[in-house]
Amino acid sequence: MQLNALLEASAQTTNVVKWVSVAGIFVLFIVIALLCIRGDKHYDAKRLAFAGISLGLSFVLSFIKVEPVLYGGSVTAASFVPILIYTYVYGVTDGLLVGLIFGLFNFATSPYILTPMTFVLDYLLAFASIGAMGFTKKFTKKTTFNVVLGTIAVYVVRFIFHLISGFIYFSMDSIWVELPAWALSNAFIYSFIYQCIYIPADCAIAAVVMYVLAKAKVIDQLGKLMKPGYKNRAAHAPESAAQAETAASDTEQK
């Protein structure tokens, strides 16, 4: 009876927070649009374009997954990687923003919570952990080391928030998976086991992909492309050649 009551309360809370999340996404987009209209230099067109591309790619990759645990928790096809790269290039603040939006997207498409607090922990703070990648860029001059360390840091922070959320959730007797008695008697241990089933695996996949991309210089090239003021030399080569030829011709005439 208690479990049924909890599940019913969860369904009602989830429905309310779902629509609040959808409204939150629109509000965020409106705020960003207003900042662009006002000419805020921090949010230029290129930055926003890459934010949208990164979020879109991460959102698509999040649907390629396996779910080893019930009611949340999945191992994805490196869904964090696009927004991790975005955060590595643009920094902590942008990482927090895209992380929050990505968390709201995930909740809006697959909503499930027990209490508002678990929503804050699982979908806001856990996904905002992506901002931690922004701290690692200046650690060393080696991109491979920085991005792997940043990826691990993001998942450690994410693990902690999910762990606390799980402790709250399972301490309310919402356990329906058979585990040894020593685990069932301690909600913290149960939550720890629950998170260990999928978060380390998801972290390992993301870290390997980030390492490979960094080793192949893809992240460095993307960083140059994404930064303001970048110009494609190949695209401007014909124009430069034509200018050089015109200058040479003028010199000969003189």
Angle between the N-to-C axes of helices 218-226 and 143-170, in degrees from 0 to 180, rounded to the nearest 10: 90
Determine the 3-state secondary structure of 229 from DSSP: coil
Return the bridge partners of 131, or none: none
Return the bridge partners of 75, or none: 66
pLDDT at 180 over 60: no
Task: Note the pLDDT tens digit of each residue in 31-44.
Answer: 666 655 555 556 67
pLDDT of residue 234: 44
Task: Note the pLDDT tens digit of each residue in 214-249.
Answer: 999 999 999 999 886 655 544 444 545 555 555 555
User: 127 vs 41, 61, 89, 120, 160, CA distance in Å?
Assistant: 26, 15, 18, 10, 12
Residue 125: band (very low, low, confident or very high) from pLDDT cuts 50, 70, 90: very high
CA angle 252, 253, 254 (to 5 degrees): 90
Structural domain contains residue 205: yes
Structural domain contains residue 240: no
Task: Note the pLDDT tens digit of each residue in 71-100.
Answer: 667 899 999 999 999 999 999 989 998 998
Residue 239: partners with Cβ closer than 8 Å, 6 or more residues away:
none
Half-sphere exposure of 87 (CA within 13 A, CB side): 32
Q: How far is CA 5 from the centre of its chain?
A: 33
Range of the domain at 79: 2-229
Average pLDDT value over all residues in the chain:
78
pTM over 0.85: no
Determine the 3-state secondary structure of 39 from DSSP: coil
Return contacts of 232-236, CB within 8 angstroms, 24+ apart. Answer: none
Structural domain contains residue 88: yes
Neighbours of 88 (CB within 10 A): 25
Residue 164, H or E segment: helix 143-170
Structural domain contains residue 212: yes
Structural domain contains residue 148: yes
Query: Token match 């019930």: residue?
Result: 70
Residue 128, domain CATH? 1.10.1760.20
Structural domain contains residue 243: no
What's the one-letter identity of residue 25? I
Structural domain contains residue 239: no
The total number of residues written for the chain in this structure:
254
Please tell me the total count of domains within the chain: 1
Task: Note the pLDDT tens digit of each residue in 136-159.
Answer: 988 888 999 999 999 999 999 999
